[in-house]
Structure 1
Amino acid sequence: MTTARTTATPRLPVRLLIPAAIAVLACTVTTATADAAPAHPTRQTANTQHRDSGGQLTAKALTGAWLRLWNGDYQQAPRIISPDLRVHAALLGGGDGSSVKGPDGLAAWIAQTRAAFPDLRFALQVRPVINGPYASVRWTCTGTYAGGFPGAEAAPGTVITFTGTDTLRIRDGKVVEYWLNSDMLSLLTQLKVI
């Protein structure tokens, strides 16, 4: 009896790949509503700059600015991100997001993520859901892979699409906490990481 022997293509440990993919997604998640056309042009949307009686951006207005930030408008960061920002996302190096601090840290993280997908564009799947100090945005992201993603075998120029949800906690008109959930399996599959 002869046994067939196959050789497996060496792969990076999944432990390293998933945090890398999540980091990329985190940067892209929030841009969805910035470029999305309002469903009802006569109604005010998340892109409208509303302020509450204390002069702070409302949660609805803040989600629009948040998404513009993720689309590469880094000037939004100091306006909407608290110096006390806490990020809940797996990072490229395996961290939990605690290394991303304040407006400058988040803007740098976004820029680093967008380097692998410089033309990322987000489309809103569902209008922002707002409940007290929390706001959630469901998005679809499409972009062209430029190369450099750890473990990716996809050719530069590959168009990717994936989905996710950003949840924000807002205090005094600024984001103080951010949770990222995105479809990493879809992204990693498209990039031929897995």
Structure 2
Amino acid sequence: MTTNVSELVDGWLRLWNGELDRAAGLLTPDFRVHAALMGGGDGSALSGPEGLAGWIAQTRAAFTSLTFAVEVGPIAQDDLLAVRWTATGTYGGGFPGATAEPGTPIAFTGTDTLRIAGDRLAEYWVNSDIHVLFAQLEVS
């Protein structure tokens, strides 16, 4: 693999930490998401840099000071890259079904698996401890 894994991970982390303008240079035009979505979808509706940037913006809108950090990794093999991350922040309101008060601190973890094509990220699988986040937000 000739791609600089450190640069990809740094760009990925900055993207999730709100630097949404990084999406176009970091992701392939046909970037694909594989994720269980709140509305029941599988992530196939989220494609390309714009689709992911929009999803990230929507996620970040319900939280103030949401910060993602790499906990384990990166682990790279062939054209795949994996990182375990932690997310911390403060609930700002507006999360569907949440009854927690705005200002509630949140923390949860997850693992991202990414496929690299050339010098960009082409595909994304996520497994997160969303049930932990739901418990903190008192989602009913």
Whether TM-score is above 0.5 comes out as: yes
In structure 2, which of residues 61, 83, 90 is the aligned counterpart of residue 144 of structure 1? Answer: 90
* 2-structure distance, mates of 1:180, 1:146: 23
Alpha-carbon RMSD across the aligned residues, in angstroms, is 1.5
Distance in 1 between the 2:4 and 2:65 partners? 29
| Alignment pair present for 1:80 and 2:26 | yes
Runs of 4+ in 1 over 4 A off after TM superposition: none
Between 1:115-124 and 1:68-77, the stretch displaced more is 115-124
- The residue type paired with residue 20 of structure 2 is Y
Give the equivalent residue in structure 2 for 1:124.
70
8 Å contact from structure 1 (residues 59, 133) kept in 2: no
- Which one-letter code corresponds to 2:104 in the other structure? T
Specify which of 47, 50, 71 is matched with residue 17 of structure 2. Answer: 71
1:155 aligns with 2:101: yes
1:192 counterpart = 2:133: no
Instruction: Report the AA paired with residue 152 of structure 1.
Output: A
Q: 1:83: how far off?
A: 1.3
Q: Which amino acid aligns with 2:4?
A: T
Q: What 5-or-longer segments of structure 1 have no aligned partner? A: 1-51
Q: Which of 36, 43, 46 pairs up with 1:90? A: 36
Residue 105 (structure 1) aligns with: 51
Larger CA Rg, structure 1 vs 2: 1
TM-superposition CA deviations, 1:11-63 (whole Å, max 9, x none): xxxxxxxxxxxxxxxxxxxxxxxxxxxxxxxxxxxxxxxxx4xxxx4233111
Please say if residues 87 and 97 of structure 1, whose CA atoms lie closer than 8 Å, have aligned partners that are also in contact.
Answer: yes
Structure 1 stretch 86-95 or stretch 161-170: which is displaced more?
Answer: 86-95
Q: How many residues align?
A: 140
Q: In the alignment, what sits opposite 2:126?
A: 180
